[in-house]
Amino acid sequence: MKTWFFSETAYPYLPESYESIRVILPNRIYDPKIGADLYHRYLDEWLHAEDAGLEIMLNEHHQTATCLDPAAPVILGALARQTTRARLLILGNPIANRRQPVRVAEEMAMVDNLARGRLEVGFVRGVPYEISAVNSSPVRMSERFWEAHDLIMKAWTTHDGPFNWEGRYFHHRQVNIWPRPYQEPHPPVWVTSLSTGSIGPIADHRYVAATFLTGRDGSKQIFEAYRERAGERGWSAPNDRFAYAALVYVGETDEEGFAGARKLMWYIESNRVAPQFINPPGYVPAAAVAKAMRNGGSLYKYDKPDLQNLIANGIVFAGNPDTVFGQIKRFYDYNGGFGHLLVMGQAGFLDHRETVRGIDLLAREVYPRLKELN
């Protein structure tokens, strides 16, 4: 199993109460002097993760204090230059919201060269609140996503001069990217899936399917759907096709682990979002919206999270090294195995010292045992 460290690089210094952390929180709240320090601290933590033997992951969000990275390729560039060994996973490019897929192909090709082939490229649909940032229609996102994907793949793999693209959603005259990717035929591709409905094409392309805080049962359904689809198409999906993201904190003791995890839970607790941004029309199928309407509103109802519930559900792994290994192993067995653990190892007010300590304990005490799974 591979373990990837990431943080959403938040700006946690927020007022007591706010209507919505996403989309409408005024950026006057953001102090650039503090923010600049945070960017450098978070980069330091990624470098520390590399030194500790972990791989590196980052993601992208817009118009939110939960994530200061609205342009992941920019941070990727810094990481590509400053790291030397770790693989760099961007999970991911929100290609249903990017107006120029060819630009995405160029950015990724650049970083792949800068990193000398250590890049892994994720494509995501993006969470519902991301659409405002790009004026992106929430309807037919899946269609836009796959046309963008097809254009990016062709841009990466065409080497004999320009091609044209006059698609439903994207038009491009002479596509001829310079540089081309470092890796042949292109960097490995990951796609985030949060429901079984989206898994078919991901499995057909044999991409890594990543699930993000979907919990025990959510992930199981998605991984099973992938395996089933592979079986129908005549191949068997190895564990390295499956990735799972969780909040993870390893302490010397269970108490220390739980304390760190409680700080990570800021990520969930702070995510108060105004209802109009949570479920834009068309983002999920009408039948699912109808169910939510009957149940009194939100599709994403977070009751005040309880740490032990989150641990029981596999959204958090926390405790001393043995405890954490046991939790991951149980999750692993329940889900039929998976090959990539994506560790949100910093969030909210978990400070630099605590973050580094968690990385070290994870890398030294848990990771070697995870590698023996599979």
Partner 1 sequence: MDPLASGITRLKVADVELELFHKGAGRPLLILHGGGGLDHRSEYLDLLAAHFEVFAPSHPGFGHSPLPERFESVDDLAYLYLDLLDACDLKDAVLIGFSLGGWIAAELAVRCAHRLSKLVLVGAVGIKVSDRETRDIPDIFATAPDDVARLVFHDPARAAVDFGALTDEELTIIARNRESLALYTWEPYMHNPGLRYQLHRIHIPTLFIRGASDGLISQKYAEAYAALIPGARLEVIAEAGHLPQIEQPRKFADRVVSFARQ
Peptide bond into 185 cis (omega under 30): yes
Q: Which of 40, 140, 233, 352 binds partner 1 (CB under 8 A)?
A: 140
Choices 131-139, 154-162, 180-188, 325-333; region in contact with partner 1 by CB under 8 A:
131-139
For the CB of residue 197, give the shortest distance to partner 1 in the complex, in Å: 15
What's the start-to-end Cα distance of the chain, in Å?
7
For the CB of residue 74, give the shortest distance to partner 1 in the complex, in Å: 26
Query: Does residue number 23 form part of the binding site for partner 1 (CB under 8 A)?
Result: yes
Q: Which of 162, 281, 306, 364 binds partner 1 (CB under 8 A)?
A: 281
- DSSP string spanning 325-363? HHHHHHHHHHTT--SEEEEEEE-TT--HHHHHHHHHHII
R_g of the chain, CA atoms, integer Å:
20
Query: Does residue number 290 form part of the binding site for partner 1 (CB under 8 A)?
Result: yes
Phi and psi at residue 284, to the nearest 5°: -120, 160
Q: How far is 182 from 109, CA to CA, in rounded Å?
A: 7
Q: Are strands 163-166 and 189-192 parallel, antiparallel or unpaired?
A: unpaired
Nearer residue to partner 1 within complex by CB, 136 or 346: 136
Handedness of CA 96, 97, 100, 105 (dihedral sign): negative
Nearer residue to partner 1 within complex by CB, 300 or 334: 300
Q: What is the DSSP letter of 319?
A: E
Nearer residue to partner 1 within complex by CB, 275 or 368: 275
Whether 126 and 283 have beta carbons less than 8 Å apart is answered as: no
Query: Does residue number 132 form part of the binding site for partner 1 (CB under 8 A)?
Result: yes
Choices 59-67, 129-137, 156-164, 234-242; region in contact with partner 1 by CB under 8 A:
129-137
- Each residue 304-343 as x (binds partner 1 by CB under 8 A) or -, in order, gives ----------------------------------------
Q: Which of 36, 71, 74, 139 binds partner 1 (CB under 8 A)?
A: 139
Q: How far is 188 from 122, CA to CA, in rounded Å?
A: 8
Query: Does residue number 293 form part of the binding site for partner 1 (CB under 8 A)?
Result: yes
Per-residue CA distances from 371 to 64, 138, 140 (Å): 35, 40, 40
Query: Does residue number 135 form part of the binding site for partner 1 (CB under 8 A)?
Result: yes
Q: Which of 274, 299, 307, 312 binds partner 1 (CB under 8 A)?
A: 274
Cβ atoms within 10 A of the Cβ of 224, count? 14
Query: Does residue number 195 form part of the binding site for partner 1 (CB under 8 A)?
Result: no
Nearer residue to partner 1 within complex by CB, 140 or 301: 140
Amino acid found at 358 = G
Chain contacts with partner 1 (rule: CB under 8 A): 23, 132, 135, 137-140, 274-277, 280-282, 286-287, 289-291, 293-294, 296
